[in-house]
C-alpha cells in the first residue's frame, strides 16, 4: 500500500503516450456493461477479466431482476441469475469449459494467509487471492431504487453461491475472504448493505465523497472493496474529452489517494470508448488507479 500512497503524494504533469504504459503493479480489469457481450461473463473471463458488471431492472410483481441498460432493452429470458450469477458459479465449479478447472476452494480457505480481518487489503486480495485462487467480482447495479424488496431479491439470487460457501462475507466487524465477492453499485441502498452485522455483499463506494457521512455510517474498508467515480464528472475533465486536461489530474489523484487511505481499490467509469482512451487509461494508472473499466477486451492484452 505504501508504494501507491507515495506515488500519489506528488502529482506531476507528464506527456501522455498513445501506447499503453507499464506500471509496477498488477492492473485489474472490470468488464463494464458485461451483459451486452455475446456471452456475458464467459467472453470477459476468456480474456482474463475477473470482474463483471450486471445492470438490472426490478419487476416488483414477479420479483425478477431483468438485465438490461434501459427498460426498452429488457428480454425476460435474461435475468441477473441466468446472465451473471449462474455463469460465475459455472466458472468457479469448473463447469464452463474443460480449459478451466474448478477453483480449489478447500485450498483457498486452508491457506494460512486467508484470515478474517477488520482491515482488509483489497488490492492484494483482488490481485493475488489465496491458495492460488483469484477472486471473481460481481458488480450488481440496480437501475431501479424505489421498491424495498429490490435488494432482498438480489440477495436471494445469490443463494447457490452462498450455499456452496463461495461468497466473501462480513461478520461482526471482520471480512472473511471467499473466492467470489458481490458488490452493489448504482442504486444499491447503502443502508441495507451496511446496517446488518452479518452479510455477504459489499458496496461500490463513491470515490469522490469517501469522507462524507451517510446517516450514522461512514465509508470504510469493511464496506468498500472498490470505490468508483465517473470519469466525465471529475472537475476539469471536459466531460471525458481526450487528452485529459492537466487541471483535472490532481482530482483523479486525490480520489485515488482517498480510496487507498481506507484500503479500498479505485475505478473510474465513463472513459470514452474512442481510440484516445489509451491516453485516459495511462493517466489513470499514473495516478495509481487499480482498475481499468473496459468495454474492449483487447485492452486487457495491451495492458497485461
Grid cell for residue 295: 468495454
Grid cell for residue 135: 477472486
pLDDT tens-digit map of 120-177: 999 999 999 999 898 999 999 999 987 889 999 999 999 999 999 999 999 999 999 9
Q: Residues 148, 63: contact at Cβ < 8 Å?
A: no
Of 172, 152, 125, 139, the residue nearest 65 (C-alpha)? 152
Omega within 30 of 0 (cis) for the link into 246: no
Whole-model pTM?
A: 0.91
- Residue 72's contacts (CB-CB under 8 Å, 6 or more residues apart) are none
pLDDT at residue 15 is higher than 90: no
Q: What is 199-242 written as a DSSP string?
A: ES-EEEEETT-TTSEETTEE--TTT-SEEEEEGGGSTTSGGG-S
pLDDT for res 214: 63
pLDDT at residue 96 is higher than 90: yes
Characterize 282-295 residue by residue with b for buried, 16 or more Cβ atoms within 10 angstroms of its Cβ, and e for exposed. bbbbbbbbbbbbbe
Amino acid at each position: 500500500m505504501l508504494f501507491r500512497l507515495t506515488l500519489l503524494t506528488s502529482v506531476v504533469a507528464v506527456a501522455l503516450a498513445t501506447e499503453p504504459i507499464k506500471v509496477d503493479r498488477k492492473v485489474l480489469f472490470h468488464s463494464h456493461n458485461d451483459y451486452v457481450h455475446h456471452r456475458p461473463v464467459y467472453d470477459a473471463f476468456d480474456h482474463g477479466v475477473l470482474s463483471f458488471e450486471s445492470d438490472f431492472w426490478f419487476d416488483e410483481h414477479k420479483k425478477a431482476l431483468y438485465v438490461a441498460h434501459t427498460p426498452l432493452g429488457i428480454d425476460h429470458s435474461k435475468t441477473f441469475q441466468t446472465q451473471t450469477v449462474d455463469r460465475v458459479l459455472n466458472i468457479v465449479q469448473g463447469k464452463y469449459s474443460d480449459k478451466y478447472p474448478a477453483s480449489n476452494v478447500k485450498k483457498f480457505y486452508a491457506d494460512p494467509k486467508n484470515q478474517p480481518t477488520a482491515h482488509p487489503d483489497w488490492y492484494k486480495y483482488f490481485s493475488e487471492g489465496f491458495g492460488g485462487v483469484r477472486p471473481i467480482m460481481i458488480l450488481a447495479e440496480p437501475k431501479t431504487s424505489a421498491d424495498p424488496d429490490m435488494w432482498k431479491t438480489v440477495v436471494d439470487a445469490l443463494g447457490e453461491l452462498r450455499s456452496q460457501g463461495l461468497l466473501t462475507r462480513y461478520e461482526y466487524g471482520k471480512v472473511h475472504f471467499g473466492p467470489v465477492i458481490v458488490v452493489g453499485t448504482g442504486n444499491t441502498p447503502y443502508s441495507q448493505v451496511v446496517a446488518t452485522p452479518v452479510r455477504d455483499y459489499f458496496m461500490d463506494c463513491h470515490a469522490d465523497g469517501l469522507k462524507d457521512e451517510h446517516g450514522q455510517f461512514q465509508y470504510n474498508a469493511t464496506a468498500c472493496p472498490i470505490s468508483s467515480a465517473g470519469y466525465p464528472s471529475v472537475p476539469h475533465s471536459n466531460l471525458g474529452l481526450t487528452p485529459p486536461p492537466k487541471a483535472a489530474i490532481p482530482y483523479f489523484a486525490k480520489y485515488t489517494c482517498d480510496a487507498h487511505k481506507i484500503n479500498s481499490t479505485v475505478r473510474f467509469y465513463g472513459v470514452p470508448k474512442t481510440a484516445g482512451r489509451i491516453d485516459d487509461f495511462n493517466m489513470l494508472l499514473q495516478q495509481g488507479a487499480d482498475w481499468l473499466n473496459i468495454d474492449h477486451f483487447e485492452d486487457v492484452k495491451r495492458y497485461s
